[in-house]
A = this chain, B = another copy of it.
C-alpha cells in the first residue's frame, strides 16, 4: 500500500524512519497499537511521496530532512524527494520561509496539480501532519466549493485544500483515504463528509490522540466509574518542537484548547472546572514534552483526594506510531467501501473523533470496538 505524507516535519520524519527500521528488523513495533495483527502488514506500507512548504526542505530527500530530527536515518529514504505543497497562511508568524504551489497558481490549479501527481504515484492513503492552523470550518459543501472556485485564499487553509484535493483524487481513482492528524476540523466538518461519501473518500480525523489528552480520558473514566466527583482538573504542557511554537499563536491555541477539553465533558457527563491547554514553548525541551496534571476529587463521605501526574512524553513518535495503524486501517476502509468517516477508528486514534455529532468515549473501550471493526478478537470483552 502506498502513502503520501503532507508535512515532512518531526512527525512525518519519525514515521518514515521508524517504519523503515521496523521493516529491516532493527526495532520492534512498539507504539503501534495493532502491531502486526492486521491483515495488511507493516512491511506492506510504502511511502511514495512527501510534501512540504518550507523552502529549506523542498527538493531535498526525506533522508536529508529526517537527519534534522534523528541521528539514525535509513538510506532508503534517499529515494523520496520532498515536493512543494500548499501553504496558504499555515506558517504565518513562524520563523520558517514558506513557499507553496499557491504562490504561483490559483487554488484550483494547485489542487489539480496535486491530483495529477497522486494519480501518477498511485497513492492509497494521504496523511496530513501539517502544522496546526487557525481555521474556520465550512459545514456547508457549497460554500467550500465556492471558496475554492473563487480562489479565496483567505478562507481556505492548507489542510482544507489538501482534503478537497483528496476528494477529487478519490473520485478519479475509485477510492482513497485522507488521514487528518491535526486539529483542523475535517472528519468533523459535514461539508467534507458529504463530499467524501460522494467521491469514494475515507476520512479519518481529527487530531491524533497522543500525549496527555487520551491519558486524561482514561484517568477521568477511572474516577467517573467510581462516582468520584472531580473538583477541578489542571493540565499544563510545554514542549520545544515546532508544534508548540505554533501554539504560542493565540488563534491556533484556541483550536487545540477546544479539542482537549471537550473530552472531559464527553466522558464525565458534566463539565468540571478545568484549565487544559498547551501552555508554552521552550526550545531545549525539544520533542520530549513535559506535562503536569493536577486533579482533585471528592470520594466517599466527603474525603478530598488528589492526583498529580507528571510526564515526559516524546510527542512525535507517539503520533507517528498511530499513523502506522491509520494508513493500514485506511486501506482496509477503502476495500470495505466505508466512505465518509469511520467512528470506530476515530474514537481510538483521534482527540476529536468525527463525525461531528459523535462524542469521546473512554479509550480503553474504544480500543475494543476498534478491534471488532478491524475484525480482530477483542482482548477483554
A133 to chain B, nearest CB (A): 24
Return chain B residues, CB-CB under 8 Å to A33.
225-227
Using a CB-CB cutoff of 8 Å, which residues 175-191 of chain A contact chain B?
Answer: none
Q: Which residue from B219, B228, B312, B364 sits with its C-beta under 8 Å from A305? A: B312
Interface 9-residue window, one of A21-29, A156-164, A199-207: A21-29
A29 to B301, CA, bound (A): 8
Using a CB-CB cutoff of 8 Å, which residues 9-34 of chain A contact chain B?
Answer: 14, 17-18, 21, 27-34
CB nearest to A26 among chain B residues? B302
Q: Which residue from B301, B303, B310 sits with its C-beta under 8 Å from A292? A: B310
Interface 9-residue window, one of A57-65, A112-120, A274-282, A330-338: A274-282
A33-B227, A365-B368, A380-B362 known; A14-B305 Cβ under 8 A: no
Q: 0/1 per residue, A271-297, Cβ < 8 Å to B?
A: 001110001111111001010101010
Q: Which residue from B30, B294, B309, B320 sits with its C-beta under 8 Å from A227? A: B30
Return chain B residues, CB-CB under 8 Å to A301.
14, 17-18, 21, 27, 31, 70, 317, 320-321
The answer to whether A318 touches B294 (Cβ under 8 A) is: no
The answer to whether B317 touches A311 (Cβ under 8 A) is: no
The answer to whether A306 touches B299 (Cβ under 8 A) is: no
The answer to whether B30 touches A300 (Cβ under 8 A) is: yes
Interface 9-residue window, one of A83-91, A231-239, A350-358: A231-239
The answer to whether B234 touches A35 (Cβ under 8 A) is: no
Using a CB-CB cutoff of 8 Å, which residues 250-274 of chain A contact chain B?
Answer: 273-274
A238-B234, A308-B309, A310-B308 known; A28-B229 Cβ under 8 A: yes
CB nearest to A211 among chain B residues? B305
Contact of A328 with B by CB under 8 A:
no
The answer to whether B222 touches A215 (Cβ under 8 A) is: yes
A285-B232, A292-B236, A299-B318 known; A31-B218 Cβ under 8 A: no
The answer to whether A302 touches B380 (Cβ under 8 A) is: no
Return chain B residues, CB-CB under 8 Å to A18.
300-301
A30-B299, A380-B361 known; A282-B290 Cβ under 8 A: no
CB nearest to A29 among chain B residues? B227
Return chain B residues, CB-CB under 8 Å to A312.
305-306
The answer to whether A222 touches B310 (Cβ under 8 A) is: no
Return chain B residues, CB-CB under 8 Å to A362.
364, 380
Having A30-B227, A307-B311, one finds 14 other A-B pairs with CB under 8 Å, namely: A14-B301, A21-B301, A29-B227, A30-B300, A32-B227, A215-B222, A231-B284, A232-B282, A238-B294, A275-B280, A292-B292, A301-B321, A364-B364, A365-B381
Which A residues lie at the B interface, using CB under 8 A? 14, 17-18, 21, 27-35, 70, 214-215, 218-219, 221-222, 225-229, 231-232, 234, 236, 238, 273-275, 279-285, 288, 290, 292, 294, 296, 298-314, 317-318, 320-322, 324, 361-365, 367-368, 380-381
